[in-house]
Chain A
């Protein structure tokens, strides 16, 4: 198509057009925009509001709702500016040179067209605004007022549908309110990649469809889609044969005929411009004018997604995605959106608790105490424990950077030890070296924008959709745009990897270093070359810590190819804790403990004579030392015992420890064994800062008025009681103390780890190597109290390859028992195309608490075989059954 040279503009003055700019007029105002800009965006830049429903800046143009009609005059072939015969949808129209657009502000025709479209949209829209959740924040309501008729002329009977359909346990669809803008279907298809279903039927009966075997011709389902309950049409075991991810709760079938399962479906509720999609948790709970909105940062993963916390009278009612183009754009995971009730759960600890011990050390009951008493008891106990061998500090990985800094400083200044480790998960010394070498103190490294621009991304030990949902969306954005190719080192290609159009580098757990070292030679020569391209990335998950040699191999690969490395842990506080020095070998800002200059540096900043010089114990060693009495006591933060590599040993250590102080939000297994429990504030009741995996500082304000104190303030008070002034009472004080230390460390960094890979174990018959990772929605404690969300979690299944299943004597869909000497887990087996001699289990889902039940981590050998008796007919064994 030839571009017509712009004619001299009718109105005199002509701004200098940019080289690739397009100059045209909107409402008589001349503007220059980059080529390819949509007219509706150009109008936005001029401050001209054109009404719209289907248009969304992050979705492809659709022109579905026709609300944005404008009058357009454009130069024809003859160069004369002529009026287009009909009004044009400005959301699909790219600006062309010399175009003259007249919106409803200057054109009666455009205004009349918009009024006509609005009247049409409202014909079948039920005027049930008083009961609709969207009422008060509804674009249809607002634009019907601004661009619609004040009186309806429609006198006939409106089309109605039975309401509402539960698309999943969380998402409800009210078809009669729908104006067919297709924002939800476009989001599901373009952004999340898990389409529910598209439009069906025509004319007045057009609707966002449900699964209809007649329409979609799915062979397996012999039911009509009129009003049949979708669940129960196939037995669960039959559905497992499909191999798809099945949600726990009932859900409508998606267009593949399997129940709809998505981790991002909450976004469709937020972008729905009418009340057609609502969510069960917030249904009928509040009105927008009730709500006080506070910006926040999601505490569920390390992405640091921007959220908006809406609360009323001290109760959080919902969370929405915040807008941050650098981080999460406008999308968050359902976990970020819906999992907030844990912060106000019934087992919240509101007062300090103190336990009396008998002379022989047996524990009495916890009883409420005043802060003064509890701090005194805690200080006295810690003092004694310090004298009796020392105190180990386990802050946990969910804390803000302020808290992590306070734990690190408390350990070193007050307790005089480096025994502080925030890693409440499988970990290794190799990982410590990796973090000190490549992560701590490196500032903002790889960013979300780098993800979507990267030509090649290699995922190692990271299941992006399950472990960092926003990362998945950004990767998919690059993939869909044709820029990014994804490779993953994993035992199996998950549905998330398939939606990333990714290539699987099949690796049984433990053999990742081998595969990583092979990149660049043999079959993987192409990948090695691709990783050498500008912008190529290696994304490393926290799970790689459990594989000896893997992180060393990652650094070798990075050195070989030049690809940049980003470490993406699961928990929100891990990167911040690494920066703040809550690790046994690292001081704040990536300063190595072993480096005397670094210690002097920090000691001067903290105004102490010297810091403990010898590197501390890691989490496992701290727990072991507490168990055998080497350590006198423990100071534990937000640690869930089930997350630790060996929960049973951790419980034993907590029980054996001479003195345990727990800083917790809610009653937990740790508080059940603690001598002093000091309540702390959840993120919504305190200000703070998370550091995302990028190294981006994500501060958030306090949303709710509260008297609860954050960890750093409690630690400051505890230090006061012990006669040390930490100076960490407020967030401002912490930053005044910490920020000079978290800047650039110009000294020597920790040396890169060079650990040899372990020999893969010989797999005896009846055995398999365990592979496992967390699912996004599982039995985690931060998802408590949200049954609607829990219903959208994927059903836990065990996955194994056809050969492994045959060797184990398990049929697809039958119950499989995975056992070690510690216990067993029984789940339905799903035969998957994956590495042989490997069995995959979800790490911490209901009925599949791998660390707890099996005392095994990925790479360990487990026994596999058919379930002894047909227990757990629903496919999920309860914890009691598992451990019995």
Chain B
């Protein structure tokens, strides 16, 4: 096959298409000739760069043993933020998905109900997915977000062994509960609307919210911190809530 040359093809004589240059010039280097001394020292001069770097500052990053800091405004993994009382900021409006040029975000919204109030107002994002295989970290979603629910963190470690794993779900994106926040769902602060939340007038959980959570979910791990935080505003309510809580009050 390959080692048997095809003998049927004859070399064409004459080669009429391309003309030969009339004369062949011998090769001449364009690099200027060095002196004999320079030629002799050339190897040492080459090592000179190496040797000079023995004494300069090291730039090697010890990643992943030491995580390299990025600039504060680095566009990293997204985060879904919470209000200070623990309710989610996301209202499921899908403006982030709309803004996304890479079609990386998928949102489904649902109704807030008195039994399950996840965010202030009528609507919350029940499904929230960001596909990090698609995301180009442009930040247009952050600009689109009307409640500042979606922001970006500095986390850039977004790699994984599976494609599915790189579709981050809502629980992967939600900001962790800060100290004193009460895990949703729970009612909004009494007498407020989503406007007050948006204006930043809600600064933490209230005793009524703590009571509600204590009644519905006595074992909620955020209850203690929430109660401490809420206690500052109304001590008696907190105290009354504290006594029966460990017993696990029956839901009404």
Please state if B147 and A287 are interface contacts (CB–CB under 8 Å). no
Contact-residue size bin, chain B (C-beta under 8 Å from the other chain): 10 to 19
Which listed residue (A136, A163, A283) contacts B111, Cβ 8 A? A283
Q: Which residues of chain B from 100 to 136 have any CB-CB distance to chain A below 8 Å in the complex?
A: 108-111, 121-123
Please state if A284 and B98 are interface contacts (CB–CB under 8 Å). no
Please state if A285 and B147 are interface contacts (CB–CB under 8 Å). no
Chain B residues positioned under 8 Å from A283 (CB to CB): 111
Asked if A131 is an interface residue, CB under 8 A from chain B, the answer is yes
Which of B91, B95, B109 counts the most A-chain CB atoms under 10 A from its CB? Answer: B109
Which listed residue (B91, B98, B109, B110) contacts A289, Cβ 8 A? B98
In angstroms, Cα B108 to Cα A234, docked, is 40
Chain A residues positioned under 8 Å from B108 (CB to CB): 285-286
Q: Which residues of chain A from 96 to 140 have any CB-CB distance to chain B below 8 Å in the complex?
A: 129-131, 135-136
In angstroms, Cα B123 to Cα A284, docked, is 7
Asked if B92 is an interface residue, CB under 8 A from chain A, the answer is yes
Asked if A880 is an interface residue, CB under 8 A from chain B, the answer is no
Which listed residue (A130, A284, A286, A290) contacts B95, Cβ 8 A? A130
Please state if B111 and A130 are interface contacts (CB–CB under 8 Å). no
Asked if B94 is an interface residue, CB under 8 A from chain A, the answer is yes
Q: Which residues of chain A from 279 to 314 have any CB-CB distance to chain B below 8 Å in the complex?
A: 283-287, 289-290
Chain A residues positioned under 8 Å from B110 (CB to CB): 284
Asked if B76 is an interface residue, CB under 8 A from chain A, the answer is no
Which listed residue (A130, A136, A289) contacts B146, Cβ 8 A? A130
Asked if B184 is an interface residue, CB under 8 A from chain A, the answer is no
Chain A residues positioned under 8 Å from B91 (CB to CB): 130-131
Asked if B225 is an interface residue, CB under 8 A from chain A, the answer is no
A177 CB, nearest partner CB in chain B, Å = 12
Asked if B166 is an interface residue, CB under 8 A from chain A, the answer is no
Which of A129, A285, A287, A290 counts the most B-chain CB atoms under 10 A from its CB? Answer: A287
Please state if A130 and B93 are interface contacts (CB–CB under 8 Å). yes
Known contacts A130-B91, A130-B147, A131-B93, A287 near B121 by CB under 8 Å: no
Please state if A285 and B109 are interface contacts (CB–CB under 8 Å). yes
Please name the residue on chain B nearest to A158 by beta carbon.
Answer: B195
Which listed residue (B98, B109, B121) contacts A136, Cβ 8 A? B98
B194 CB, nearest partner CB in chain A, Å = 8
Chain A residues positioned under 8 Å from B92 (CB to CB): 131, 284
Please state if B111 and A287 are interface contacts (CB–CB under 8 Å). no
In angstroms, Cα B196 to Cα A23, docked, is 57
Chain B residues positioned under 8 Å from A129 (CB to CB): 93
Please state if B123 and A287 are interface contacts (CB–CB under 8 Å). no
Please state if A131 and B94 are interface contacts (CB–CB under 8 Å). no
Please state if B121 and A284 are interface contacts (CB–CB under 8 Å). no
In angstroms, Cα B234 to Cα A56, docked, is 56
In angstroms, Cα B146 to Cα A289, docked, is 18
Chain B residues positioned under 8 Å from A289 (CB to CB): 94, 97-98
Please state if B109 and A284 are interface contacts (CB–CB under 8 Å). yes
Chain A residues positioned under 8 Å from B94 (CB to CB): 287, 289-290
A182 CB, nearest partner CB in chain B, Å = 25
Which listed residue (B111, B146, B147) contacts A284, Cβ 8 A? B111
Which listed residue (B97, B98, B121) contacts A131, Cβ 8 A? B121
Please name the residue on chain A nearest to B193 by beta carbon.
Answer: A160
Chain A residues positioned under 8 Å from B97 (CB to CB): 287, 289-290
Encoded as 1 (CB less than 8 Å from any B CB) or 0, chain A from 129 to 155 comes to: 111000110000000000000000000
Please name the residue on chain A nearest to B111 by beta carbon.
Answer: A284
Please name the residue on chain B nearest to A290 by beta carbon.
Answer: B94
Which listed residue (A135, A163, A285) contacts B93, Cβ 8 A? A135
Please state if A131 and B95 are interface contacts (CB–CB under 8 Å). no
In angstroms, Cα B94 to Cα A284, docked, is 10
Which listed residue (B98, B122, B146) contacts A287, Cβ 8 A? B98
Known contacts A131-B93, A284-B111, A285-B109, A163 near B98 by CB under 8 Å: no
Encoded as 1 (CB less than 8 Å from any A CB) or 0, chain B from 152 to 181 comes to: 000000000000000000000000000000
Chain A residues positioned under 8 Å from B93 (CB to CB): 129-131, 135, 287
Please name the residue on chain B nearest to A289 by beta carbon.
Answer: B98
Chain B residues positioned under 8 Å from A286 (CB to CB): 108
Chain B residues positioned under 8 Å from A131 (CB to CB): 91-93, 121-123
In angstroms, Cα B111 to Cα A284, docked, is 7
Please name the residue on chain A nearest to B98 by beta carbon.
Answer: A289
Please name the residue on chain B nearest to A286 by beta carbon.
Answer: B108
Chain B residues positioned under 8 Å from A136 (CB to CB): 98
Encoded as 1 (CB less than 8 Å from any B CB) or 0, chain A from 141 to 182 comes to: 000000000000000000000010000000000000000000
Please state if A163 and B122 are interface contacts (CB–CB under 8 Å). yes
A70 CB, nearest partner CB in chain B, Å = 33
Chain B residues positioned under 8 Å from A287 (CB to CB): 93-94, 97-98
Chain A residues positioned under 8 Å from B111 (CB to CB): 283-284
B93 CB, nearest partner CB in chain A, Å = 3
In angstroms, Cα B144 to Cα A129, docked, is 13
In angstroms, Cα B97 to Cα A290, docked, is 9
Encoded as 1 (CB less than 8 Å from any A CB) or 0, chain B from 139 to 151 comes to: 0000000110000
A390 CB, nearest partner CB in chain B, Å = 52
Please name the residue on chain A nearest to B144 by beta carbon.
Answer: A130
In angstroms, Cα B97 to Cα A135, docked, is 14
Q: Which residues of chain B from 52 to 96 have any CB-CB distance to chain A below 8 Å in the complex?
A: 91-95
In angstroms, Cα B182 to Cα A481, docked, is 62
Chain A residues positioned under 8 Å from B109 (CB to CB): 284-285
Q: Which residues of chain A from 597 to 653 have any CB-CB distance to chain B below 8 Å in the complex?
A: none
In angstroms, Cα B93 to Cα A646, docked, is 51
Chain A residues positioned under 8 Å from B147 (CB to CB): 130
Chain A residues positioned under 8 Å from B146 (CB to CB): 130
In angstroms, Cα B109 to Cα A41, docked, is 39
Please name the residue on chain A nearest to B119 by beta carbon.
Answer: A131
B215 CB, nearest partner CB in chain A, Å = 26
Chain B residues positioned under 8 Å from A284 (CB to CB): 92, 109-111, 122-123
Encoded as 1 (CB less than 8 Å from any A CB) or 0, chain B from 186 to 228 comes to: 0000000000000000000000000000000000000000000
In angstroms, Cα B112 to Cα A163, docked, is 13
In angstroms, Cα B144 to Cα A135, docked, is 14
Chain A residues positioned under 8 Å from B121 (CB to CB): 131
A160 CB, nearest partner CB in chain B, Å = 9
Chain B residues positioned under 8 Å from A290 (CB to CB): 94, 97
A287 CB, nearest partner CB in chain B, Å = 5
B105 CB, nearest partner CB in chain A, Å = 11
B197 CB, nearest partner CB in chain A, Å = 13
A135 CB, nearest partner CB in chain B, Å = 7
Which of A129, A135, A136, A284 counts the most B-chain CB atoms under 10 A from its CB? Answer: A284
Which of B95, B97, B108, B110 counts the most A-chain CB atoms under 10 A from its CB? Answer: B108
In angstroms, Cα B93 to Cα A136, docked, is 10
A125 CB, nearest partner CB in chain B, Å = 15
In angstroms, Cα B98 to Cα A131, docked, is 14
Chain A residues positioned under 8 Å from B123 (CB to CB): 131, 284
Which of A130, A163, A286, A290 counts the most B-chain CB atoms under 10 A from its CB? Answer: A130
Please name the residue on chain A nearest to B94 by beta carbon.
Answer: A287
In angstroms, Cα B50 to Cα A625, docked, is 101
In angstroms, Cα B145 to Cα A130, docked, is 9
In angstroms, Cα B93 to Cα A135, docked, is 9
A141 CB, nearest partner CB in chain B, Å = 12
In angstroms, Cα B124 to Cα A283, docked, is 12
In angstroms, Cα B62 to Cα A479, docked, is 85
Please name the residue on chain A nearest to B112 by beta carbon.
Answer: A284
A93 CB, nearest partner CB in chain B, Å = 38
In angstroms, Cα B109 to Cα A289, docked, is 14
B25 CB, nearest partner CB in chain A, Å = 68
**A287-B93, A289-B94 known, 5 other contacts, Cβ within 8 Å:** A130-B146, A131-B91, A284-B122, A284-B123, A287-B98
List 3 tightest A-B contacts by C-beta distance, closest first.
Answer: A130-B93, A284-B109, A131-B123
A selection of 13 A-B contacts at a CB cut-off of 8 Å is A129-B93, A131-B123, A136-B98, A163-B122, A283-B111, A284-B92, A284-B122, A285-B109, A286-B108, A287-B97, A289-B94, A289-B97, A290-B94
B-to-A contact residues, CB < 8 Å: 91-95, 97-98, 108-111, 121-123, 146-147
A-to-B contact residues, CB < 8 Å: 129-131, 135-136, 163, 283-287, 289-290
